Structure formats: C-alpha cells, structure tokens
Amino acid sequence: GPLHFSTRRQSCLYSPENEESHRPTALSDCIPGFILVHIVCMQRHLANRNPERAMDFATELVRLLPFGASCIDKAGWPITSAQILGYYRRFRRAFAAGPYSLQGKLDMLERGQYATQREMASEAGSPDIDPWPNWLLREMLWQVGSEGDQRQQLG
C-alpha cells in the first residue's frame, strides 16, 4: 500500500560511518523529531530486508532517547519514551536471533559495508545475500501496543 511505498522511499541521511552526520542532531532543538525519523528509517531498512542497517539506526535511537525523553512524554508527541525503549529492546532481541553467520563476526564498518551490499541487491531486485526469515523481520517492525511496550507503560 501507500504506507509501504512511502516507508521504502524515506530519505535517511544519517550515516553511522560519518561522525559529521551527528552534528545537526546535536545542534537541534527537536530531538524527538530526529527520534521519529530514525524509527521510520528503521522501518524503511526492514522493508528493504536490511536489518543490519536498521540496527545502526536503532543504536543511534537509543543514544538520542535520554536527550529527548522528557520532551516526548510532555509535549504531545504521538509516542512515549517507554514505547521507544520497549521497541528498541524487542528489536535487539529479534536481531540477536538473526542469521548465525553475522552474530559477533562483523565490526561496525564491516556491518555497514555488508548492509550497503544488501541494500543495493534489494534495490536491483536481486536475491538476498543472507536472507532473514520474514517472521523475524516482522518482529523487528514498530508495533504500538506490543507486550513490552504495555509493560513499560503500566510500570
């Protein structure tokens, strides 16, 4: 549908390999906005079957959260910091269950290169290099109201 199309086309300028890309975030007064864009970018990379790149955004997401949590929770944003943290935890668990060949074998630079290869293969319509099962990719998607999110909200 249209949401899937839009998500796959989301511009995601953040690059974990480039420290200069962090500067706009550090100078911004809208960290919650950056957090939301990171969540959308994670969805984009998951839709493109590239969870390694989504993990880079997840790492940045959790780094930004302490700086934006109070604003997110008090200023009318459509999500809460507890939902974001619950999502991050669920994403990390699902990622850790991924293909054995990647676990603990790639440093950040190698993971970025591998993710770029996967993204190029996906855009070219080529078969995945090391496919992730669909059920695991679905587990990594944003799901408001998941068990972990509810536990965070109630606690």
Question: For 80-136, how does the pLDDT look when each residue is reduced to its tens digit (9 = 90+)?
Answer: 999 999 999 999 999 998 875 454 555 555 556 666 666 666 666 665 455 788 899
DSSP assignment letter at 97: T
Cβ–Cβ < 8 Å for 63, 14: no
| Single-letter amino acid code for the residue at 88 | Y
Using a 10 angstrom Cβ sphere, with 0-12 exposed, 13-18 middle and 19 or more buried, the burial of residue 145 is exposed
Average pLDDT, the chain: 75
Neighbours of 101 (CB within 10 A): 8
Where does the pLDDT of residue 153 fall: very low under 50, low under 70, confident under 90, or very high at 90 and above? very low
Structure-derived torsion over alpha carbons of residues 91, 95, 96, 97, reported in degrees to the nearest 10: 110
pLDDT of residue 11: 62
